[in-house]
Chains A and B, each alone.
Chain A
Amino acid sequence: MTGGISKRIYKIQFALLSPEEIRKMSQVKVITADTYDDDGYPIERGLMDLHMGVIEPGLKCATCGGKVDECPGHFGHIELAMPVVHIGFIKELKTLLDATCKACGKIKLTDDEIRSYREKFDQLSLSTSDPEIIGLMSKKVTDEASQRMVCPHCGTQQTKIILDKPTTFREEGIKVTPKEIRERMERIPDDHLVFFGLNSEVARPEWMVLTVLPVPPINVRPSITLETGERSEDDLTHKLVDIIRISQRLRESRDNGSPQLIIEDLWDLLQFHVTTYFDNQTAGIPPARHRSGRALKTLVQRLKGKEGRFRSNLSGKRVNFSARTVISPEPFLSINEVGVPEKAARELTVPVTVNVFNVESIREFVKRGPEPRDEFGKYLAGVNYIIRPDGRRIKLTAQNAEENSKRIEPGWVVERQLTEGDIVLFNRQPSLHRMSMMGHTVRILDGQTFRFNLAVCTPYNADFDGDEMNLHIIQKEEARAEARIIMKVQEQIMSPRFGGPIIGGIHDHITSLFLLTHNNPLIPEDETVHILSYLDIESMPEPVIQDGKKFYAGRDIFSLILPKGLNLQFTSKLCTGAKEKCEYENDPADKLVYIVDGKMLHGTIDEAAIGSFSGEIIDKIFRKYGPAETARFIDRMTRLAVGFISVRGFSTGISDYDIPESAISRIAEISAQAIDRATKLIETYRQGQLQPAPGRSVEDTLEIEILSTTGMVRDESGKIASAYLGLNNPSVIMARSGARAKMLNISEVAGMVGQQSVRGGRLNRGYYGRTLPHFKVNDIGALARGFVQSSYKEGLNPLEYFMHSIGGREGLVDIAVRTSRSGYMQRRLINAFEDLKVDDDLRVQDTIGAVIQFKYGEDGVDPTRSDRGETVDVDYNAFDLEQEAEQ
């Protein structure tokens, strides 16, 4: 990798290959369709002729004498028995045929017109003007010429030419052979080509009809030898075999005077093979297939689409110094760390340049060899390769380590294995936002998986059901500095999407701290000590003495992890979830979180305090103390949470959804009433008595009425059920604290599942006039249209189960459709924005300096530093200042 520019592209020219040129660049005229003889040696003048390059070690190229990796490959050519049209130029050929005279070949414009248009074209230089403008002008001129039915030059009456897709041209129903097309193209004078946007020096139109076909070098279509010793040829070679075979048969038939019909059939077949050789997905042509039935991958298929050369090999590449494996959780790691298995660490290296200052220590390092361990058998970083100043790599082994360590001098490079504290990039696909790739510091761990703190699941959108992630080892100092300063996890806590923290507690963290702080429970001394042993605290909080025993208050324990000087008050999530009036509405001790000087005085910690997306405490710590302190808070918060919930214990089971018999019968009663009400509504509707709601039809009104009835009964049953499920119920704790699920889900389990819907309406599809054959035709009653009376716990009857599956399917389909559609949308946005940049005075520009925005986001505000889109949180700042003044 040397700096500077060795070559610069001066211009790019698009041209056609003339038959002469194809022959000139060809090293061999291929005449046999065979590849190798019985001994496995390439047949001369065959498709694997040695003149076209070598792929087998030991052989030498017959053209350049190079061996396998030296010879770049050379072209050959096939002389086609009869000309065929090139599928890529069909459109151009059509225009040319339409706009020129069939007899004299001149463009069908009068001399005056030619003169005036030529002047216009002369103004635009063909090589420098915008191709789009040339294209538009050329279209205008050729359209005009195509309209003429009599040639202004020779007076010949013209006939209409129809393109019979994909490759046949017809003139009054009679086929125009490629040979005839080629002859017509030859007649077009050089100085008329400018009107078609062609440069006559490099692109004569008759070259669009092929008489000679270039055969790509063997390096382009290498054959592979299977384990069985069998040879398997590349798809392109297969196609070329077909072309040669048919060309030969066509030549023979023509020469021995076969009937015209047979010749035409063979000619068409040749056209088919040449067409599919270029593009095997041409509309109107069945794709050529391999023996196994697989469609062949020919030239266009190699380039096009996601797996094509451009997107797969040029825009994206496989990289070295990377690793991929399964991920698993490790709550004792910091959010900034990643656990790397030893196996991976031994393979991944960081280059270290030897200089006069480090030469001694590096020699010691190299002496340790490629697999060192300390006296306890623990991992120590070794060295895999050393690179001499001339670029030669020496593989280090236990045997040659000692000797090589002595040879090391300043200027050498040593490839050192990964060690604790190295900064690496960690990534999970799909990489939808910048937090999908963050910098972590390495911890070498036992086992086979990558591990990280659970709080980092959210930005990566990872879980541990088999997800895999990628690790990239940074090779340069600049990149390492950049990763440390801007990519490290702690720098990414604030999301630019909504200006709040995206990293925070999840699931059990929230449940645990909710249990720790709600109603401020007293924790016995021994348990407290155990929990706090997970944390690095300086002193124990004030104990509470009760019955002569020492206890610690939950909120005091939580206060230990809050930074000193933090002042904050906010409402917890506790009451926001409740439908009716919350039981804690007037209880500030529970509802209102009140933190002064890093001590939590009252309130309940839940999702609103420490959750990802919403965590108020995380947000305010970040603003007041910065990334490092926030990372420390999250580390300690997750440790405390895991410690506490492990000691306390937490689980839920089916009996948590038990509600009294009376409640069950009450729910059954109201659902029966709802069905009755629906039936009555339908009756009213059938009698024509139903009053339509404003702006709606009677049918719509009926649907809405029934939907609201069934919706109401579900809410009602939820209320009845949750009346018996209080905050001592684990599921309710999870729902109310925001750890997982909603109260709605609980009422579905304990109360009733309720109305199923597709596209916002009741189920109505399936059989003629009914959803299932269990109902009468045109039954639009509640049960016939997907009302599920049972609860999940009680179990659904077969009909309900079916209805429920229909509703569930809609969700799955939605997700599938949404992901593919948003993925494509994202790709287009990325391509449009990829080279925009924000300069020093916040102006957004593209590469030529054209302005996109005069000030980034029109206000110059970095959304990460904004308060959820607002400029400042006045209430918080006022409270903070007030408290600080008091202290």
Chain B
Amino acid sequence: MGKFNVLQHDLVPEHHVVPKSEEDKVLKELEIAKDLLPKISRSDPAIKALEEIHGPLDTGTIIRIVRRSPTMGYSTYYRVITSEVFK
């Protein structure tokens, strides 16, 4: 079986890396400190898939997730990479 890219699966929402240069803008827009953003584990399959494209991602990188929503069309969500492993 060939390598499977989770991001291409229909049920996985789009994950994008927010470039370092845009981080401040995003945080300002959300009026929030980075440590209060929802977290995503470094070991998350989606992050691993992103690392295939972007090379290793530092903890603290912000990920923009675009989800389909029946009422809104789409909704954006932000998560920040952490080294924590969630049980």
Chain A interface residues (CB < 8 Å from chain B): 848-855, 858-859, 861, 866, 869-871
Q: A859-B69, A859-B71, A871-B71 are in contact. Are A854 and B36 (CB under 8 A)?
A: no
Give residues of chain B (1-52) contacting chain A, Cβ–Cβ below 8 Å: 30, 32, 35-38
> Contact at B75–A849, with CB atoms within 8 Å?
no
Question: How far does the alpha carbon of A861 sit from the alpha carbon of B75 in the complex, in Å?
Answer: 13
> Contact at A851–B75, with CB atoms within 8 Å?
no
Question: How far does the alpha carbon of A848 sit from the alpha carbon of B35 in the complex, in Å?
Answer: 11
Q: A858-B67, A859-B75 are in contact. Are A849 and B38 (CB under 8 A)?
A: no
CB distance from A14 to the nearest CB of B (A): 23
> Contact at B75–A858, with CB atoms within 8 Å?
yes
> Contact at B70–A849, with CB atoms within 8 Å?
no
Is B76 in contact with chain A by the CB < 8 A criterion?
Answer: yes
- Report B-chain residues with C-beta under 8 Å of the C-beta of A861: 71
CB distance from B64 to the nearest CB of A (A): 11
Option from A848, A851, A859, A869 in Cβ contact (under 8 Å) with B37:
A851
A854-B78, A858-B75 given. 6 additional CB < 8 A pairs? A850-B36, A850-B37, A852-B38, A854-B77, A858-B72, A859-B69
> Contact at A858–B77, with CB atoms within 8 Å?
yes
CB distance from A867 to the nearest CB of B (A): 11
13 of the cross-chain contacts (CB-CB < 8 Å) are A848-B36, A850-B35, A850-B36, A850-B37, A850-B38, A851-B37, A851-B38, A854-B78, A859-B69, A861-B71, A866-B71, A869-B70, A871-B71
CB distance from A506 to the nearest CB of B (A): 31
Question: How far does the alpha carbon of A853 sit from the alpha carbon of B76 in the complex, in Å?
Answer: 10
Question: How far does the alpha carbon of A222 sit from the alpha carbon of B82 in the complex, in Å?
Answer: 53
- Report B-chain residues with C-beta under 8 Å of the C-beta of A850: 35-38
Smallest CB gap from B75: residue in A: A858
Question: How far does the alpha carbon of A858 sit from the alpha carbon of B69 in the complex, in Å?
Answer: 8
CB distance from B65 to the nearest CB of A (A): 10
Q: Which one of B35, B36, B71, B75 has the greatest number of beta carbons of chain A within 10 Å?
A: B71
CB distance from B57 to the nearest CB of A (A): 20
- Report A-chain residues with C-beta under 8 Å of the C-beta of B76: 854
- Report B-chain residues with C-beta under 8 Å of the C-beta of A870: 71
Q: Which one of A851, A852, A870, A871 has the greatest number of beta carbons of chain B within 10 Å?
A: A851
- Report B-chain residues with C-beta under 8 Å of the C-beta of A852: 38
- Report A-chain residues with C-beta under 8 Å of the C-beta of B36: 848-851
- Report A-chain residues with C-beta under 8 Å of the C-beta of B70: 869
Question: How far does the alpha carbon of A851 sit from the alpha carbon of B37 in the complex, in Å?
Answer: 6
- Report B-chain residues with C-beta under 8 Å of the C-beta of A851: 32, 36-38
Question: How far does the alpha carbon of A715 sit from the alpha carbon of B78 in the complex, in Å?
Answer: 53
Return the 6 tightest CB-CB contacts between A and B, nearest first. A858-B75, A859-B72, A859-B71, A850-B36, A849-B36, A859-B69
Question: How far does the alpha carbon of A613 sit from the alpha carbon of B36 in the complex, in Å?
Answer: 39
CB distance from B40 to the nearest CB of A (A): 13
- Report B-chain residues with C-beta under 8 Å of the C-beta of A854: 30, 76-78
Smallest CB gap from B36: residue in A: A850
Question: How far does the alpha carbon of A870 sit from the alpha carbon of B71 in the complex, in Å?
Answer: 7
Q: Which one of B30, B35, B36, B76 has the greatest number of beta carbons of chain A within 10 Å?
A: B36
Question: How far does the alpha carbon of A855 sit from the alpha carbon of B78 in the complex, in Å?
Answer: 11
Question: How far does the alpha carbon of A854 sit from the alpha carbon of B37 in the complex, in Å?
Answer: 9
- Report B-chain residues with C-beta under 8 Å of the C-beta of A871: 71
CB distance from A849 to the nearest CB of B (A): 5
CB distance from B62 to the nearest CB of A (A): 12
Question: How far does the alpha carbon of A854 sit from the alpha carbon of B38 in the complex, in Å?
Answer: 9
CB distance from A593 to the nearest CB of B (A): 28
Smallest CB gap from A853: residue in B: B77
Smallest CB gap from A860: residue in B: B72
- Report A-chain residues with C-beta under 8 Å of the C-beta of B67: 858
Smallest CB gap from B31: residue in A: A841
Question: How far does the alpha carbon of A869 sit from the alpha carbon of B69 in the complex, in Å?
Answer: 12
CB distance from A758 to the nearest CB of B (A): 34
Smallest CB gap from A871: residue in B: B71
Question: How far does the alpha carbon of A859 sit from the alpha carbon of B72 in the complex, in Å?
Answer: 6
* Chain B 59-87 interface 0/1 with A at a Cβ cutoff of 8 Å (1 = within): 00000000101111001111000000000
Question: How far does the alpha carbon of A379 sit from the alpha carbon of B33 in the complex, in Å?
Answer: 60
Question: How far does the alpha carbon of A852 sit from the alpha carbon of B78 in the complex, in Å?
Answer: 10
- Report B-chain residues with C-beta under 8 Å of the C-beta of A859: 69, 71-72, 75
CB distance from A858 to the nearest CB of B (A): 4
Question: How far does the alpha carbon of A852 sit from the alpha carbon of B32 in the complex, in Å?
Answer: 12
Smallest CB gap from A870: residue in B: B71
Smallest CB gap from B76: residue in A: A854
CB distance from A731 to the nearest CB of B (A): 40
Question: How far does the alpha carbon of A851 sit from the alpha carbon of B35 in the complex, in Å?
Answer: 10
Question: How far does the alpha carbon of A869 sit from the alpha carbon of B35 in the complex, in Å?
Answer: 33
> Contact at A855–B38, with CB atoms within 8 Å?
no
- Report A-chain residues with C-beta under 8 Å of the C-beta of B32: 851
Q: Which one of A852, A854, A866 has the greatest number of beta carbons of chain B within 10 Å?
A: A854
Smallest CB gap from B37: residue in A: A851
- Report B-chain residues with C-beta under 8 Å of the C-beta of A858: 67, 69, 72, 75, 77
CB distance from B69 to the nearest CB of A (A): 6
- Report A-chain residues with C-beta under 8 Å of the C-beta of B71: 859, 861, 866, 869-871
Question: How far does the alpha carbon of A851 sit from the alpha carbon of B36 in the complex, in Å?
Answer: 6
- Report A-chain residues with C-beta under 8 Å of the C-beta of B37: 850-851
Question: How far does the alpha carbon of A873 sit from the alpha carbon of B78 in the complex, in Å?
Answer: 32
Question: How far does the alpha carbon of A41 sit from the alpha carbon of B76 in the complex, in Å?
Answer: 74
CB distance from B53 to the nearest CB of A (A): 25
CB distance from A847 to the nearest CB of B (A): 12
- Report A-chain residues with C-beta under 8 Å of the C-beta of B30: 854
Question: How far does the alpha carbon of A852 sit from the alpha carbon of B39 in the complex, in Å?
Answer: 10
- Report A-chain residues with C-beta under 8 Å of the C-beta of B69: 858-859
- Report B-chain residues with C-beta under 8 Å of the C-beta of A849: 36
CB distance from A667 to the nearest CB of B (A): 46
Question: How far does the alpha carbon of A859 sit from the alpha carbon of B77 in the complex, in Å?
Answer: 11
Question: How far does the alpha carbon of A673 sit from the alpha carbon of B30 in the complex, in Å?
Answer: 71
Question: How far does the alpha carbon of A861 sit from the alpha carbon of B76 in the complex, in Å?
Answer: 15
CB distance from B71 to the nearest CB of A (A): 4
- Report A-chain residues with C-beta under 8 Å of the C-beta of B77: 853-854, 858
CB distance from A832 to the nearest CB of B (A): 14
CB distance from A498 to the nearest CB of B (A): 14
Smallest CB gap from B35: residue in A: A850
Question: How far does the alpha carbon of A119 sit from the alpha carbon of B7 in the complex, in Å?
Answer: 43
Question: How far does the alpha carbon of A696 sit from the alpha carbon of B35 in the complex, in Å?
Answer: 54
- Report B-chain residues with C-beta under 8 Å of the C-beta of A869: 70-71
- Report B-chain residues with C-beta under 8 Å of the C-beta of A866: 71
CB distance from B82 to the nearest CB of A (A): 12
CB distance from B68 to the nearest CB of A (A): 10
- Report A-chain residues with C-beta under 8 Å of the C-beta of B75: 855, 858-859
Smallest CB gap from A857: residue in B: B71
Smallest CB gap from B32: residue in A: A851
CB distance from B16 to the nearest CB of A (A): 15
- Report B-chain residues with C-beta under 8 Å of the C-beta of A853: 77
Question: How far does the alpha carbon of A866 sit from the alpha carbon of B70 in the complex, in Å?
Answer: 12
- Report B-chain residues with C-beta under 8 Å of the C-beta of A855: 75
CB distance from A450 to the nearest CB of B (A): 40
Smallest CB gap from B67: residue in A: A858
CB distance from A413 to the nearest CB of B (A): 44
- Report A-chain residues with C-beta under 8 Å of the C-beta of B38: 850-852
CB distance from A139 to the nearest CB of B (A): 16
Smallest CB gap from A855: residue in B: B75
